[in-house]
Structure 1
């Protein structure tokens, strides 16, 4: 029997999560490895130590925030505006399941979002983060886990969902990808569809959260993004695949920018496995061509 080296074993485990997805019973623990919360090589005792440290560090951050909050309120207008935006966004969240059971604790969610805004100077806060962090809160039990998983998720995905960092790059590369793989569609978008692709920024800001029929589908796609397989910046191939779903309608009806955006916004209740498979086919097609250097640098 062939024995895998530690490096190949880790690669196999990550590949398995990409190909097969994660069973709901192991998702919570597996995400701690995928995000980097735990090291793949760590022992059980080491993981207990890491979790204890992350819990303590979160408590320290909370205490620091409580001390500086009055200063932030008095000296930083942006803080007050952001806090109000967070409260408003959370109030609009539907926090109960069909049976009326409360799914999330909105006050805890508000605290985590405010702390993330104060501590993460790269990402800060943008509309949509409340929906993303809600999914982390649904996945894990403790606030420190929710906070750190979200931070590590942003880092692992190269802040691709952050407007000031990754979203613009994603949109530019999506345009480049359409130009390269589908010149006919690209020509239509340059004419009647002017601005349609740039208007798709919510796809990236929310990591496609609103396109799926269930939270499990959202987690399934996010798990793929965390593996880095089959390539970096897989989210752009996902967006391209979604655009291909409306391509024939757009061309046949000669849709303009607003109609294209409406058709794209109607892409809901999608199946994650089907979309991931379609995006993988796009990647395979891309690899069969002489890829321009900007695309090669972005995906490889």
Structure 2
């Protein structure tokens, strides 16, 4: 009987997560492995120790925040502005399911967002984070889990949804990808569609959250991104696949950039498995070509 090495075993588990998806019953625990909250090779006892450590670290951060909050409010205008932005975003956030049951606790969500802003110098706070963290609050039970899973998700996805880190790179590479794989559409976008691709930044800022018909679909795509399969920066291939959904109409009707953007914004209720499959086909097409070095470095 052949025994898999830890590296091969990890690869097999990630491949299974990518291909088959995660059953809702195991999602909460599986995400702790996918994000790096737990090591794939850890024992149950080790995981109990890690979870205890993460809880203590979270509590220490909360205590630190409580001590410096008055100072931040008095001396840092950006903090007050961020506080107001979070409060405004949460006020508009619909927190109930179709039956009227409350899905989330907005006060807990506000605490997580403010703590993340203070502690994460790279990501800070941007519009849309409240919708992302909401899904973490729905997924897991404890505040420290919500906080750390969000931080690890950002790290694992190379901060690709953060405006001042990954979003600009994604948009530039999406433009490069269109130019390389679809020069006809690229030429149209340079003319009548100028600016359309750059205006698609909400796709990346929200990690495509508004494009899907259910939370399960959002989690499904995010899980694919966390596996790192079939390649790095898979989110750009996802965006390319979505843009291809409006390509034919854009060319036939010689649509302007604003019209293309409007058509893209109407891409809702998508199926995560179908979109992932389409993006994988783009990746397969890419691998059959002599890829320019910038694209090769970005995806491989």
Same fold (TM over 0.5): yes
Aligned counterpart, 2:30 = 30
Q: Report which stretch shifted further, 216-225 or 4-13.
A: 4-13
Shift of 1:219: 0.2
Q: How many angstroms apart in 1 are the aligned matches of 2:219 and 2:156?
A: 15
Give 1:2 deviation, angstroms.
3.0
Displacement of 1:99? 1.1
Q: For 1:94-113, list aligned pairs within 5 A.
A: 94-113=94-113
**Tell me, what secondary structure is at the counterpart of 1:165?**
helix
The separation in 1 between residues aligned to 2:232 and 2:123, in whole angstroms, is: 20
Output the CA distance in 1 between the equivalents of 2:2 and 2:187.
52
Question: SS in structure 1 opposite 2:186?
Answer: helix
Distance of 2:218 and 2:105 partners within structure 1: 20
What is the number of residues matched between the two proteins?
A: 300
Structure 2 residues not aligned, in runs of 5+ = none
Whole-angstrom CA distance in 2 between matches of 1:209 and 1:64 = 32
> Offset of 1:5 from its aligned partner?
1.9
CA RMSD of aligned residues (A): 0.5
Residues 177-196 of structure 1, C-alpha deviations (whole Å, 9 max, x = no match): 00000000000000000000
Q: Name the CA distance, whole Å, in 2 between partners of 1:2 and 1:20.
A: 23
Provide, for residues 166-220 of structure 1, a one-character-per-residue CA deviation record: whole Å limited to 9, x for no partner. Answer: 0000000000000000000000000000000000000000000000000000000
Within 1, Cα distance between the matches of 2:7 and 2:206?
32
Task: State the alpha-carbon separation in 2 of the partners of residues 135 and 188 from structure 1.
Answer: 37
State the 1:46 CA deviation: 0.3
In the alignment, which residue of structure 2 is the partner of 1:265? 265
The superposition leaves residues 35-66 of structure 1 with CA deviations (integer Å, 9 ceiling, x where unpaired) of 00000110000000000010011001001000
Shift of 1:98: 1.0
- Which range is displaced more, 194-203 or 2-11? 2-11
* TM superposition shift of 1:272: 0.2
* Residue deviations 1:204-250 (CA, integer Å, cap 9, x gap): 00000000000000000000000000000000000000000000000
Alpha-carbon offset, residue 4 of structure 1: 1.8
- Separation in 2 of the partners of 1:208 and 1:16? 22
Q: Which runs of 5+ in 1 are unaligned?
A: none
Provide runs of 4+ in structure 1 moved above 6 Å.
none
Is residue 39 from structure 1 mapped to residue 39 from structure 2 by the alignment? yes
In 2, Cα distance between equivalents of 1:220 and 1:254: 34
Normalised by the length of structure 2, the TM-score is 0.99
- Give distance in 2, aligned partners of 1:175 and 1:97: 38
Instruction: Supply the distance in 1 between the matched residues of 2:60 and 2:102 (Cα, whole angstroms).
Output: 29
Following TM superposition, by how much is the alpha carbon of 1:3 offset from its aligned partner in structure 2, in angstroms? 2.5
CA displacement at 1:7 relative to structure 2: 1.4
